[in-house]
Structure 1
């Protein structure tokens, strides 16, 4: 999925666990991390004062 297209509800619900963690990117730094256990976690990546930071938003 291209990084500039918003994730659809169907794509998020159908995301399955794999042998490795993977990320599904939304727009503007928001992404969904799918873990090997099947857990889906929302994260937001941003820059502040020249440093790359991540904010965890929950499941």
Structure 2
């Protein structure tokens, strides 16, 4: 039962609006003075989110 509730919460968190805000926030972070490793992680996370968005649209096209 707990896993079903957890799955519902995860789906609710990954709405298109939330992903859009996350990507915008990561882009804003990239405009700051991050060191190399932090910058790499931010870029990686942003790219993963963008890939997730693109895969959603590719599934429906």
Bucket of the pairwise TM-score, normalised by the shorter protein:
under 0.3
TM-score w.r.t. structure 1 length? 0.24
Structure ranking higher in helix proportion: 2
* Larger CA Rg, structure 1 vs 2: 2
TM-score w.r.t. structure 2 length? 0.24
The answer to which structure, 1 or 2, has the higher relative contact order (CA under 8 A, 6+ apart) is 2
